[in-house]
Each structure stands twice: as C-alpha cells, then as structure tokens.
Amino acid sequence: MNSYRERTNNGYQVYISKQKGMDSMKIIDTHCDALLKLQLAKRGLPYGKLPLSFQHAAELETNLARLQQGSYMAQFFAIFIEPDVPSDEKWQHALEQIDMFHTEILDKHPEMKHMKSWEDFDRLQPGEIGAVLALEGADAFGNDFVKLRQLYREGILYMGMSWNNANLCADGAGEPRGGGLTELGKEVVNMNNANQVYTDVSHSTVKGFWDILELSDYPFASHANARAICDHPRNLYDEQIKAMFAKNGLIHLVYNPPFIKKGQRPSNDR
C-alpha cells in the first residue's frame, strides 16, 4: 500500500491510500475509551454483565463492527486510570487494560493488527485495522521511569501528560490553579521525544499547553476542538491552534456534544 498523510483544513488526519489501482480515504481515530469499558465490565461495573465483546457490544462506541463499517485504517486505544483509583493500584489498572488490549482485541480478532511504530501504518494490508496503544495521563507510572519504559516497549505512540486532574507531571484542564508542567513532566516530554512518542495537549491547562509546545518535537491533540466555536476548557484557542500547525502538530476533533456546543449533555464517551 502506497500512502501519504494529508491534513485537512480542520486538522483532521486522513490517509489517502492507493490499493489495487483505486483511491480510498482511510480514517484514523486517535482516541477511544474501549479499554476502560472492557476493564470495568470484567470487574462487574457498571454494565452488570461479563464480559463485553469488542466485536459488536453496543456499550462500546468503538467496536470491530463499527470500525469495519467506517473503513477505519487505525484506532488508538487510550489507557486511562480513573482519578479515584488509589495511587498504589494505578499501575495494576494500567496493566489490566493492556492485558485487555491483547486478549480481547488483538487475540480474538485477527483483523486488528498491533502497531508499535509510525512505520507500521504503511505495513497494513487490505482488510486490516491498526490497533495502537496510547496513555491518557501520567498517573499510571507516577515518577517511576521503569514503568514508563515498559509502556514505551508496549508500543504507546502518544501520551497525554494529564487528564483533567493534577498529577506529578502536570496540572490537568480541570485543576483550578492552572499550573503547567513540573520538572518531572518536562523530563517525560524529553523522553517522549527520544522515543518518537507524541505528547498530547488535549487535557492540558493553557500554561501546560505552551510548556509542551516549547519542549515537544511531536505536539499533538488527540481529541480537542476550537474554543472560538465552543468555549470549553478542553478546547483550544485560535493562537494555540495556529501555534500547533506552525510546529507541524496534528489536531484531531472530538464529537462529544459538550465540546461542540455549550449546554449539550455528554455522550457515554469522555
């Protein structure tokens, strides 16, 4: 498959691929919560039945049937730890979600191909869908670089420094003090650069955004919209969007209603 990446006017990333002499557009979705939902179902909450099937479970906004129907090229699966999980249990929760990625998504569905490098996008064959791990928030590894290096080996290709809460690396978009990266967070961004891992600004504070943009070789927004259109703390100001594009950063849109129009009720996905 010969392909090239194109950024549209709204920042949405697609791949235009030539297969068997025909042009086709392939979508890359850079964020979903399927791993968390699969983990919660295995633990018996909140769905009350075991387990959810990645193949067609309606409770999963992202499942195999929907990916195939949409002609997806690749899906990123976020490892996300709920803020109320005790600190000494966060790593175990991350490992459980990684295990679900392998046992429930890859092992049971040969169409899903684990991609651990950006070059793997060009190795996908017709009928295959890339499956990529990502980390939403540094809470999973705390300040333990052994754990962080293990996540790199598992193939995470982007990392958000925070969710909405604060952690050891950065304040999140919901933290009232609005701080940026800590010294630990800056060191992690440099490690991301060394491993060709994108640093995600989607849940960053405004200060955190500019800290990341200054340091990151690969700035990225996995799910964020324009604040000029919808004034939500998770959306980006025009100057932030322009600065991202000036540094070849990619911005992927989020279709959760509160990020599109103020006053809308959220969907089941975050």
151: domain CATH number?
A: 3.20.20.140
Question: What's the pLDDT band for 265 if we cut at 50, 70, 90?
Answer: low
Q: How many CB atoms lie within 10 A of CB 222?
A: 24
Distance CA(61)–CA(48), nearest Å, equals 18
Confidence band (pLDDT; 50, 70, 90) for 27? very high
Task: Tell whether the model's pLDDT for residue 144 goes beyond 60.
Answer: yes
| 13-22, 47-56, 82-91, 152-161: segment of lowest average pLDDT | 13-22
User: What does DSSP assign to residue 101?
Assistant: I
- Quote the number of domains for the chain: 1
Cβ–Cβ < 8 Å for 229, 259: no
As a whole number, mean pLDDT of residues 175-194 equals 97
pLDDT score recorded for residue 4: 34
| Residue 158 forms part of a structural domain | yes
Question: Distance (Å, rounded) from C-alpha 196 to C-alpha 189?
Answer: 10
Residue 192 — left, alpha, or beta (φ > 0 → left; ψ -120 to 50 → alpha)?
alpha
Tell me, what's the pLDDT at 5? 40
268 in any annotated domain: no
Q: Assess if residue 6 is contained within a domain.
A: yes
pLDDT at 139 over 50: yes
Per-residue confidence (pLDDT) for residue 48, from 0 to 100: 59
Phi and psi at residue 229, in whole multiples of 5°?
-90, -40
Averaged over 255-261, what is the pLDDT? 90
Q: Which of 158, 161, 35, 58 is nearest to 104 (CA)?
A: 35
* 211, pLDDT greater than 90: yes
Q: What is the pTM of this model?
A: 0.88
Q: Is the peptide bond before 51 cis (omega within 30 degrees of 0)?
A: yes
Q: For residue 20, what pLDDT is reported?
A: 41
Least confident of 8-22, 118-132, 146-160, 250-264: 8-22
In-domain check, residue 207: yes
Is 264 inside a domain boundary?
A: no
Q: Is 92 part of a structural domain of the chain?
A: yes
Average pLDDT over residues 114-138: 96
CB-count burial class (<10 Å; 0-12, 13-18, 19+) for 83 = middle
Residue 49 binned pLDDT confidence (cut-offs 50, 70, 90): low
In this prediction, residue 224 has a pLDDT band, given cuts at 50, 70 and 90, of very high
The b/e string for 97-110 (b: 16+ C-beta within 10 A; e otherwise) is: bbebbeebbbeebe
Query: What range defines the domain where residue 181 resides?
Result: 2-259
Within a domain: 269: no
Mean pLDDT of the 12-37 span: 67
265 within a domain of the structure (yes/no): no
The stretch 149-162 carries a mean pLDDT of 98
What pLDDT is stored for residue 251 in this prediction?
96
Q: Which of 230, 228, 220 is nearest to 252 (CA)?
A: 220
Treating both helix axes as pointing N-terminal to C-terminal, what angle do 206-215 and 238-246 enclose, rounded to 10 degrees? 10
Q: Give the number of other CB atoms < 10 A from CB of residue 66.
A: 15
Average pLDDT, stretch 148-170?
Answer: 97
* pLDDT band at 266; cut points 50, 70, 90: low
Q: What is the predicted pLDDT for the residue at 43?
A: 87
Q: Is the CB of residue 73 less than 8 Å from the CB of residue 60?
A: no
